[in-house]
């Protein structure tokens, strides 16, 4: 059996969830071939070998720097064909998942997104998917011999198992017709820690009363090496950028630690954080619903508690 893993990268580094996809593919058994598209340093890409890829293909053509779903689909399909791969595994992202679904249609494979853990293969091939925005799970039977699986963060454990591998150039045929969406420009805060990938997230809600008060939250985040998030009203009012909004209609996070400051804990917000390992809630209202979903809670004024927490963390370093 052979599994191809589509590697996403940003700012010159392979994304952690893509490494998890490699580890997942390795755990399925058989050979693992990784594929990266667009500009990335060969050394950085080669690290993928440590998690189980025995071969790495790199389609470095600059035309692939901006992802176009149709083009990426075609390149992945060509790589699968060339390598004789049975399966495709990748990270469940707004790019990877749609691409994967198209590859599945073209190859007649069974497809599952939002997959949370390694399959149960005791009878058939069953994967556990997150549904109802994390409020429940579904066991899905993948019936075809070929499988395309999009995994959520933490679906496979990252263990260094092998050595770095130097990438092999891959030159797929690129059809102009496939470039059916044109990227005009991009606005990106490249220095920020990626919210969906972050190990620690510090989020603020309407309780912080205005964008001018985000300093205390940012200081806490910097101290922890955390990404910053917010509740929906906070991004609706323009206090924070839209891509920071966490919840049912925003980003779904899955960090080790989620710290919620001045957020009431509406069920729609909780839907975006229920995959967190540990939740800390700071709220001045002891009856705030968020405490019911928390592991640790502090009742208090954010403007008092947050700076104290930052100092305590600095002191404990």
Partner 1 sequence: MKILVCITHVPDTTSRINFIDNNTKFDTAGVQFIIGPYDDYALARAIELKESSGATVTVLHVGPADSEPTIRKALAIGADDAIRVNTEPTDSFFVASQIAEHAKGFDLVLMGRESIDFNGGVVHAMVGELLGIPSVSPVMKLDIEGSKAKMAREIEGGKEYVEANLPLVAGCQEPIAEWKIPNMRGIMSARTKPLKVVESKAADGQARTTKFELPPPKKPVQMISADNVAELVSKLKGEAKVL
Ligand X SMILES: Cc1cc2nc3c(=O)[nH]c(=O)nc-3n(C[C@H](O)[C@H](O)[C@H](O)COP(=O)(O)OP(=O)(O)OC[C@H]3O[C@@H](n4cnc5c(N)ncnc54)[C@H](O)[C@@H]3O)c2cc1C
Residue (32 or 271) nearer to ligand X, CB? 271
Cβ neighbors of 88 (< 8 A, separation 6 or more) are 3, 4, 5, 6, 76, 80, 100, 103, 104, 109, 147, 148, 149
Site string for ligand X, 258-277 (x = CB under 6 A): ----xxx-x-xx--x-----
The candidate with the shortest Cα–Cα distance to 191, out of 216, 225, 220, is 225
Q: Which of residues 29-88 bind ligand X (CB under 6 A)?
A: none
Residue (179 or 303) nearer to ligand X, CB? 303
Q: Which of residues 205-224 bind ligand X (CB under 6 A)?
A: 205-207
Opening angle at CA 110, ends 149 and 274, nearest 5: 40
Kindly state the smallest distance separating residue 184's Cβ from partner 1, in Å: 4
247 touches ligand X (CB under 6 A)? yes
Contact pick of 82, 284, 298, 307 for ligand X (by CB under 6 A)? 284
How big is the site for ligand X, counted in residues (CB under 6 A)? 27
User: Burial level of 165, CB count in 10 A (0-12/13-18/19+)?
Assistant: middle
Residue (151 or 302) nearer to ligand X, CB? 302
Residue (44 or 305) nearer to ligand X, CB? 305
Kindly state the smallest distance separating residue 263's Cβ from ligand X, in Å: 4
Concatenating the DSSP letter of every residue in 190-245 gives TTSPPTTT-SEEEEE-GGG-SGGGHHHHHHHHHHHT-EEEE-HHHHHTTSS-GGGB
Say which entry of ligand X, partner 1, none residue 302 contacts (CB below 5 to 8 A, set by partner kind). ligand X
Say which entry of ligand X, partner 1, none residue 272 contacts (CB below 5 to 8 A, set by partner kind). ligand X
Kindly state the smallest distance separating residue 135's Cβ from ligand X, in Å: 13
Residue 33 in tokens: 């071939």
Kindly state the smallest distance separating residue 169's Cβ from partner 1, in Å: 27
Say which entry of ligand X, partner 1, none residue 283 contacts (CB below 5 to 8 A, set by partner kind). ligand X
Cβ neighbors of 70 (< 8 A, separation 6 or more) are 102, 178, 179, 180, 181
Q: Which stretch binds ligand X (CB under 6 A): 122-130, 160-168, 176-184, 202-210?
A: 202-210
* 186/35 Cα distance (integer angstroms): 24
Say which entry of ligand X, partner 1, none residue 294 contacts (CB below 5 to 8 A, set by partner kind). partner 1
Using Cβ positions, the residue closest to ligand X within the complex turns out to be 247
Q: Within 10 Å of residue 94's Cβ, how many Cβ atoms?
A: 8
301 touches ligand X (CB under 6 A)? yes
The candidate with the shortest Cα–Cα distance to 125, out of 155, 147, 103, is 147
* 35/58 Cα distance (integer angstroms): 6
Kindly state the smallest distance separating residue 237's Cβ from partner 1, in Å: 12
Say which entry of ligand X, partner 1, none residue 82 contacts (CB below 5 to 8 A, set by partner kind). none
Say which entry of ligand X, partner 1, none residue 99 contacts (CB below 5 to 8 A, set by partner kind). partner 1
228 touches ligand X (CB under 6 A)? no
- Tell how far CA 93 is from the center of its chain: 6
- Tell how far CA 27 is from the center of its chain: 19
Kindly state the smallest distance separating residue 153's Cβ from partner 1, in Å: 13
Burial state string for 230-254 with b = 16 or more CB within 10 A and e = fewer than 16: bbbebbeeebbeeebbbbbebbbbb
Residues in contact with ligand X by the rule CB under 6 A: 205-207, 231-234, 245-250, 262-264, 266, 268-269, 272, 283-285, 288, 301-303
């Amino acid at each position: 059996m052979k599994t191809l893993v589509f590697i996403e990268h940003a700012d010159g580094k392979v994304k952690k969830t893509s490494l998890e996809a490699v580890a997942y593919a390795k755990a399925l058994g058989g050979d693992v071939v990784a594929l990266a598209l667009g500009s990335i340093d060969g050394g950085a890409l080669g690290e993928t070998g440590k998690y189980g890829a025995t071969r790495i293909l790199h389609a470095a053509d600059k035309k692939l720097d901006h992802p176009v779903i149709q083009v990426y689909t075609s390149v992945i399909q060509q790589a699968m064909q060339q390598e004789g791969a049975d399966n495709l595994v990748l990270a469940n992202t707004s790019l990877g998942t749609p691409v994967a679904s198209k590859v599945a249609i073209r190859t007649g494979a069974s497809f599952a997104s939002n997959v949370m853990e390694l399959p149960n293969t005791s009878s058939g091939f069953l994967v556990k998917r997150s549904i109802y925005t994390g409020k429940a799970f579904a066991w899905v039977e993948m019936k075809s011999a070929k499988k395309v699986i999009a995994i959520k963060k933490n679906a496979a454990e990252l263990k260094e198992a092998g050595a770095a591998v130097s990438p092999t150039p891959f030159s797929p045929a690129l059809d102009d017709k496939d470039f059916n969406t044109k990227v005009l420009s991009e606005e990106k805060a490249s220095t920020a820690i990626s919210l969906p990938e972050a190990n620690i997230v510090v989020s603020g809600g309407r309780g912080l009363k205005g964008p001018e008060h985000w300093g205390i939250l940012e200081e806490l985040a910097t101290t922890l090496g955390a990404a910053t998030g917010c509740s929906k009203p906070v991004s609706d009012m323009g206090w924070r950028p839209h891509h920071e909004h966490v919840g049912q209609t925003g980003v779904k996070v899955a960090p080790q630690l989620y710290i919620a400051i001045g957020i009431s804990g509406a069920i729609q917000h909780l839907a975006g954080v229920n995959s967190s390992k540990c939740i800390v809630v700071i709220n001045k209202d002891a009856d705030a619903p968020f405490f019911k979903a928390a592991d640790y809670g502090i009742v208090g004024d954010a403007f008092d508690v947050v700076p104290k927490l930052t100092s305590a963390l600095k002191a404990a370093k």
